[in-house]
Structure 1
Amino acid sequence: MTPLYAELHRWASLPFLWGESDCCLVVCDWVERVTGIDPARDLRMTYDSAGSCQRETGFLRDPLRITTQCMEGIAGLARTAAPVAGDVGVIKILLEGQVRPVAALCLGPAGWAVKSIQRGTTTLAPSHVIGVMRAWSVGYSAGSHA
């Protein structure tokens, strides 16, 4: 099993907990595993609900501000217009009848994976992703991490 899919299995074993193992923080866990830098080092355990997440990070209204700050400012990741397996991003999906942003892990042509409140880990085929708002290259290569 590749480290990428081992990470998805790890996500599936975690409960969704705001400020500990939510959609953004598990993505930041992945970045730390690959790069050694935790992009969310200043955010962990600072919120515990959707409301306090919004107050602390602003993610729900402006997801690109905080994720760009974390991924580029802290982790030093470069943006990519062509994400590959192991890269991370903010994507738009239909959730509870509304288009919502979520942090996600690129699976390459297979689509994206997200930490889900309801289902542990959800993989989304490209046809289920409304759009990629922004993506960052993590530098993971399945061949070099096998």
Structure 2
Amino acid sequence: MTLKEWLEKPSHRFRWGGQGGDDCLMFCASWVEHVTGSDPVADFRGTYGTEEEAHAIVEQRGGMVALVSEMAIRAGFERTDSPEDGDIGIIIAPAGLGGSLKEIGAIKFGPLWAVIGPAGVRAKKAECIAAWRVPQ
């Protein structure tokens, strides 16, 4: 299954904690699991169920970039300054009804970044602040 086919799956839905759906970081991890056969965040799946609990885990690990870096290194991924289709990253993009800028986990998709939110999977232009090569 190609990245485009995976992103278009109607089963994607937003849910905190990666049980019955994905939040932004679990969305990236689900893609990684699809590509590699191994879930890099299996120890986190189902351990939280709210935005507040998700933020607490991210803060305990030193922020989104530090958390994803830890999981990516453990999975054998390398950081890249030139993300390609299928690579994962942390972007800065508008989120929520107010449109405030936030760090969001995303998957590189052509010139865009694919993200998941309450409205489903979307692709948007965004500034990437960190990216990791996903072996495919």
Residue 5 of structure 1: aligned partner? 4
1:135 has 2:131 as partner? yes
For the residues of structure 1 that align with 2:59 and 2:46, how far apart are their CA atoms?
15
1:88 has 2:88 as partner? yes
For the residues of structure 2 that align with 1:7 and 1:136, how far apart are their CA atoms?
19
For the residues of structure 2 that align with 1:97 and 1:26, how far apart are their CA atoms?
20
Structure 2, gaps ≥5 residues long: none
Q: Identity, % of aligned pairs?
A: 31
Structure 1, gaps ≥5 residues long: 141-146
* Structure 1 residue 112 displacement after superposition: 0.8
TM-score, normalised by the number of residues in structure 2: 0.87
SS at match of 2:46: coil
8 Å contact from structure 1 (residues 80, 135) kept in 2: yes
Matches within 5 A, 1:100-115: 100-109=102-111, 111-115=112-116
Matches within 5 A, 1:55-94: 55-58=56-59, 62-73=63-74, 75-94=75-94
Residue 51 of structure 2: aligned partner? 50
* Structure 1 residue 3 displacement after superposition: 1.6
Residue 31 of structure 2: aligned partner? 30
Root-mean-square deviation over aligned CA pairs: 1.7
For the residues of structure 1 that align with 2:71 and 2:116, how far apart are their CA atoms?
18
Structure 1 runs of 4+ aligned residues shifted over 2 Å read: 12-15, 56-59
8 Å contact from structure 1 (residues 80, 137) kept in 2: yes
Cα distance per residue 1:57-84 (max 9 Å; x no partner): 328x8211211111112x1101110001
Aligned length: 130
TM-score, normalised by the number of residues in structure 1: 0.81
